[in-house]
Structure 1
Amino acid sequence: MLPQEESLDILIEFLLQYGYQKVQNIPIDIIRKLALIVIKENVFVYEKKFYRQVIGGAMGSAFTLTLANIFMWKWEKQLVHRLKVSNEIYGRYLTWFIEEYTLHIMSHFRYVDDIFFTSNDSLECIDQMLDEANNFHPNIKLVRQIGRSVPFLDVLIENRKGTLTTSVYHKEAAEPYVVPFGSDHPGHVFRNTVDTAITRAVRY
C-alpha cells in the first residue's frame, strides 16, 4: 500500500528531477495540494459507519496508478544504483521501465508492482539481490518465483533450452470469476473484462 505523504513527496521529487516547475501552467506546490486531496479524501461506508482511507489510494483511480508507478520508480532507482555501485549490474534505462543488462541480469520488465527478469547468475546471488531489495522500504515486499517456467501478468513464460516461449496464463484463483455487473466499478472495468476475455481467447 502506498504511504500517502511519502508518495506525494516522491511525486514532487520526480517532477523536479525531470525539470518540471509547472505542469500545464500549474505550479508543483499546487499539484501537491491537489494530489493530497485526491489521495486522502477517500471515504466509504461499512455497516452504516463512515471510514476514511489512510493508506494507499482509491482502487482503479488513474491517479493512484500513476502515483504507484512513480513510487516504484523511486524504489527501482535505488535498486539499480545499489547494484551498479557493487559492480553487479550495469546497463541503460529505457522508457517504460525496461532495462537491458549485459553482465548479470539479461532483461528486466516491470508493470506497476509485477517484475520479471532473466539472469545467468546463481540462485544464491539472485536471492541475495532480492533480499536487499526487500529492505528498501517496509511497504514494498517482493514475493519471488524462480524457475524455468513462471507466470507474469497474463503470460506464462517458459525457458525451453535457452529460448523463451510464451502462452496465455490462467490464474486459478481468478477464473472463472469476474467483477459482478451490479458493483459500483466504473463502466470501463466491465468493458475491459469483456475485451480481455476475447483477446485471451483469440491468443489461447
Structure 2
Amino acid sequence: LDVQLTNNNGTLLTSVYHKPAAEPCITPFTSDHPRHVFSNIIKTSIERATRYSSTFEAFNYERRYIKLMLLYNDYPSTFIENEFHKYFSEYISKSPFLPLINDEQKYFLMRKHILGRPTPRQSQVALSAALADIDNDPLDDDEKQQPNPDPKQSEENISTINEKFFTHFTYEKRFKTCKRDMHQVYNHAFKDTPAMYTKLIVGNRIRRQTQNELIRKRPNKNLLQNTTTIKSKSNNSNRKQFK
C-alpha cells in the first residue's frame, strides 16, 4: 500500500508513496522515549526508501524527504547525520559535502545487499511456519520409544529461570540513568549474599499517552446496564386518596 508504481515507457519504476493529505508527523525528538526509539525510526525510514526506490533519483528524493521530516519533528541535524552515517557505513562517501551515496552503482550494490536480507516480518512468518511444521509432523518410531525426560533436568531448567530477576520502570528522560543506578543499589545491598547469584535484568516501558491515561476504555458495568424504575405501592395509594 505504500509503494508507488510508475510506467516509464514500458518500464515499471517503484518509489515510496506518500498520501497527499498526510503530514510529516512522527514521534517528536522531545518526547519521553528511549534513545533507541528515535534511531529505529530513522533506520526504518532509510531501509524502506532503499527497498522501494528502484532508481537512484527516487532514493535521493526520499532521502531528502526523510531529513526534512526529521527536522520538522525537532530531530537535531547532528543526530540525523550520525544515524545516516551509521546506516551507510559501508557505502558512505568520505567527503561531507557529497551525498551519502554519490554513485548509482554503489546504490544498486547496497540495495541488492539489503533486498537479500529478510525483513523482520518475513523472519517471523518463516519461524512460525517452521514451528507449525514441527508440531504437525507425526512422531517417528524412535521418538515414540524414547523414555520420559528426567525430572531432575526439568527442575534444573526451572531453577535457571528463577535465577533471573526481571523488573521494569516507565521511561522518562529524568530516569536516564535508572538502569545503572538500580544495578549499583542491587549490588551494594546484596553483596556477599546468595542473592548475587540471581541476575538482575532491568527493562523499561514507554510511557502511555495522555489520551490513554484520561480515557477509560472499559467503563463500569453499572454504566452499561439499563436501570428500570419500579413504582412503589405507597405512591399509588396516595394517588387514590387524592382522587
Q: Shared fold (TM-score greater than 0.5)?
A: no
**Larger Cα-atom Rg:** 2
- Normalising by structure 1, we get a TM-score of 0.23
TM-score by length of 2: 0.21
The structure richer in helix per residue is 2
